[in-house]
Structure 1
Amino acid sequence: MRWDRLFDDLEAQLAAQTRLELDAEVAERTRTERSKVTLGERISGAVGAHLVIRLRGGSVARGRLDDCGDGWLLLVEDGGRQQLVSVAAVLGASGLGRPRDDTRARRFGIGSAVRGISRDRRAVAVIDVDGGTVHGTIDGVGADAFDITEHPLDSPRRAANVRGERVVPFAAVALISSS
Structure 2
Amino acid sequence: MRMQRLFRDLDIQFEAEQLRALENQAQRRARMEYMAVTMRERCAAQHGSRVKVNGTDGMVREGYLEAIGQGWIQISTGRENILIPESSILWWESESQAAEVKVDVQARAYRFSMSDACYALMMAQEPVRLSCASPVNTMFEGVIARVGADFIEMALAPCEPYSAYSNALAYKERGVRIIPTSRICAIVTVN
Residue 175 in structure 1 maps to residue 186 in structure 2: yes
CA distance in 2 between counterparts of 1:162 and 1:54 reads 27
CA distance in 2 between counterparts of 1:118 and 1:3 reads 84
What residue is the counterpart of 2:38 in the other structure?
A: 38
CA distance in 1 between counterparts of 2:70 and 2:7 reads 58
CA distance in 1 between counterparts of 2:125 and 2:35 reads 40
CA distance in 2 between counterparts of 1:107 and 1:33 reads 25
Q: Between Structure 1 and Structure 2, how many residues are aligned?
A: 173
What residue is the counterpart of 2:149 in the other structure?
A: 143
Asked if structure 2 preserves the Cα contact closer than 8 Å seen for 1:73 and 1:85, the reply is yes
**Tell me, which stretches of 5 or more residues in structure 1 are unaligned?**
156-160
Q: Deviations over 1:23-66 (max 9, x none)?
A: 11111111112222222321221111122211112112221111
Could you tell me which amino acid in structure 2 is paired with residue 37 of structure 1? V
Could you tell me which amino acid in structure 1 is paired with residue 143 of structure 2? T
> Cα gap change, 1:22/1:107 in structure 2, threshold over 3 Å: closer, same or farther?
farther
What residue is the counterpart of 1:95 in the other structure?
A: 94
Could you tell me which amino acid in structure 1 is paired with residue 88 of structure 2? A
Residue 120 in structure 1 maps to residue 124 in structure 2: yes
Tell me which of 95, 109, 115 is aligned to 2:113. Answer: 109
Could you tell me which amino acid in structure 1 is paired with residue 178 of structure 2? V
Structure 1 window deviating more from structure 2 (99-108 vs 5-14): it is: 99-108
Three-state SS of the structure 2 residue aligned to 1:13 is helix
Asked if structure 2 preserves the Cα contact closer than 8 Å seen for 1:41 and 1:105, the reply is no
CA distance in 2 between counterparts of 1:38 and 1:96 reads 19
Residue 68 in structure 1 maps to residue 72 in structure 2: no
Could you tell me which amino acid in structure 1 is paired with residue 26 of structure 2? V
Three-state SS of the structure 1 residue aligned to 2:144 is strand
Percent identity over the alignment? 26
TM-score, length basis structure 1: 0.86
Three-state SS of the structure 1 residue aligned to 2:74 is strand
Stretches of 4+ moved more than 6 A in 1? none
Residue 162 of structure 1 and its aligned partner are, at CA, apart by: 7.7
Residue 78 in structure 1 maps to residue 78 in structure 2: yes
CA distance in 1 between counterparts of 2:11 and 2:111 reads 52
CA distance in 1 between counterparts of 2:4 and 2:132 reads 74
> Cα gap change, 1:96/1:118 in structure 2, threshold over 3 Å: closer, same or farther?
farther
Q: Deviations over 1:87-113 (max 9, x none)?
A: 111122232521324352233221222
How much is the aligned-residue C-alpha RMSD, in angstroms?
A: 2.0
Asked if structure 2 preserves the Cα contact closer than 8 Å seen for 1:43 and 1:96, the reply is no
